[in-house]
């Protein structure tokens, strides 16, 4: 049975949790396919997949600073509500994903005061205990 190594094509389900709350998950939906060494997963998470094979299920815990960096208070900003013209009624707790230069970023709405919005530009899992759960469905090393 094929094991995951560099350049493996892998079909898997995964979830990311922060302090016990699910941030994103493919369980209950469609699995994702990725190529090891070329995926968008953080390197520390991708490297945890090495050696796994189809039908393996694992759970890993990571410090968020090793994945998303150290929480930075200076990334809490006040912005004009007009900056969110493409989003209907942003409210505290909303997490907005945006893309810049082909890189994905998250904006967490902390507060809204009149025409101002207080946002946190740190990754939503920053400063949390991150749990990565994975189920390997298929491994293809014939590349």
Q: How far lies 134's CA from each of 83, 97, 127, 140, in Å?
A: 36, 23, 22, 17
Summarised one tens digit per residue, pLDDT across range 34-80 is 999 998 888 899 999 999 999 999 999 999 888 888 899 999 999 99
The share of the chain scoring above pLDDT 90, in percent, equals 71
Residue 143 has what pLDDT? 59
Percent helix, percent strand, percent coil in the chain, to nearest 5: 10, 45, 40
Domain at 9-68+126-140, CATH from 3.40.50.11540, 3.40.50.740, 3.40.50.150, 3.10.50.40: 3.10.50.40
**DSSP 8-state symbol, 74:** G
Is pLDDT at 81 greater than 80 in this prediction? yes
Are 127 and 8 within 8 A, CB to CB?
no
- Is the predicted pLDDT of residue 102 greater than 80, yes or no? no
The distance of Cα 87 from the centroid of its chain, to the nearest Å, equals 21
User: How many Cα atoms occupy the beta-carbon half-sphere of 92 within 13 Å?
Assistant: 6
Three-class SS of residue 44? helix
Q: Fold for 73-120, please state it.
A: Thrombin, subunit H (2.40.10)
Q: How far apart are CA 39 and CA 87, in angstroms?
A: 29
pLDDT for 34: 95
Domain ranges of the chain: 9-68+126-140, 73-120
Of the pLDDT bands very low, low, confident and very high (cuts 50, 70, 90), residue 9 is: very high
């Amino acid at each position: 049975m094929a094991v995951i190594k560099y350049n493996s094509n892998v079909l898997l389900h995964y979830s990311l949790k922060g302090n016990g709350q699910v941030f994103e998950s493919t369980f209950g939906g469609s699995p994702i396919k990725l190529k090891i060494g070329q995926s968008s997963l953080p390197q520390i998470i991708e490297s945890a997949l090495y050696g796994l094979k189809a039908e393996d299920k694992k759970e890993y815990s990571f410090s968020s600073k090793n994945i998303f960096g150290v929480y930075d208070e200076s990334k809490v900003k006040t912005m004009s509500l007009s900056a969110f013209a493409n989003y209907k009624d942003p409210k505290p707790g909303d997490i907005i994903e945006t893309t810049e230069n082909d890189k994905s970023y998250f904006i967490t709405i902390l507060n809204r005061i009149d025409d101002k919005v207080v946002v946190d530009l740190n990754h939503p899992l920053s400063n949390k205990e991150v749990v990565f759960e994975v189920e390997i469905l298929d491994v293809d090393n014939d590349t």
